[in-house]
Amino acid sequence: MNVKSAFLNGDLKNEIFMKIPPGVEAKKEQVWLLHKVLYGLKQASREWYLKLKGQLEELGFKRSDIDHGVFTKIIDRKLFVIAVYVDNFLLFLSNISHIRTVKKDLKRCFEMKDLGEAKWILQMKIERTDMGDGIRKLTISQEQYIETILEQHSMVDCKPAKTPMAANLQLPTLTKAEINIIEYQRCIRSLMYLIICTHPDIVYSVGVLLHHVACPGRTHMQAVKCVFWYLCRTSHYGLEF
């Protein structure tokens, strides 16, 4: 589900004045006192989050202590989860009737659009497959994201590798960088997102390369490229549930 103009739902707790925009007749010394949040205010995202948190707590949801973007509630002895990313909600529960009820409650709180079953979220593709006998398989993958980072780092036409790191590879610890540090760190950052989401198969390799982000050398960059070459071969891989 998506909240329309999410930040405009926030309530201002501080006195904030703004210049009157051009085209509006007013005296030169006049300013406007804001009663609601506007996009562009530093407080906008926080006030929206506090508003959302308050509404979800009124509906009986409890914020996770581990991730403040996750809210949970027990309904008929089953865990109902709402995951929030700015103005997008993912709802998780096996009972569709309860999901519909909560959707109605949310629509009473905010102007929202029901986007149906999630297919894309945060550069992750979500696919559902009917396996028969009432069993469904859910697959999360990031093939498009991998293609994007391969293009960003000029590795689209690279030769695919079978493993993310060569066996028995020994990387030296340097005291002075031999290559562009920022470029090396960008590559590592691109790989970190894959680790978090859908590619635990590169955790070890990237973990080793992380130790050299301050002073990377040519051998370290070659090892990073090997991970990308492996991803070129396995871009269609995903997690199945």
- Nearest Cα to Cα of residue 44 among 11, 16, 83: 11
CA dist 44 and 29 (Å) reads 26
Cβ distance 238 to 141 under 8 Å? yes
CB contact set of 105 (below 8 Å; sequence gap of 6+): 59
Q: Residue 127 phi/psi, 5° resolution?
A: -120, 145
Query: Residue type at 56?
Result: L
Cβ distance 4 to 113 under 8 Å? yes
Beta bridge partners of 90: 83
* pLDDT the model gives residue 238: 93
* pLDDT the model gives residue 193: 95
CA dist 63 and 40 (Å) reads 26
* pLDDT the model gives residue 185: 96
Determine whether 125 is exposed, middle or buried from the number of CB atoms within 10 Å of its CB (0-12, 13-18, 19+): middle
CA dist 163 and 201 (Å) reads 9
* pLDDT the model gives residue 81: 95
Question: b/e string for 127-142 if b means 16 or more Cβ within 10 A?
Answer: eeeeeeeeeeeeeebb
CA dist 80 and 89 (Å) reads 13
Beta bridge partners of 81: 72, 92
* pLDDT the model gives residue 27: 80
Beta bridge partners of 130: 136
Query: One digit per residue, pLDDT tens: the chain, 241 residues?
Result: 999 999 989 888 888 898 888 888 888 788 988 888 888 888 889 999 999 999 999 999 999 999 999 999 999 889 999 999 999 999 998 888 889 999 999 999 999 999 988 899 999 999 989 888 878 899 999 999 999 999 999 988 888 999 999 988 999 999 999 999 999 999 999 999 999 999 999 999 999 999 999 999 999 999 999 999 999 999 999 999 9
* pLDDT the model gives residue 206: 96
Q: Is the pTM of this model over 0.85?
A: no
Q: What is the DSSP letter of 36?
A: B
CA dist 207 and 89 (Å) reads 31
* pLDDT the model gives residue 65: 94
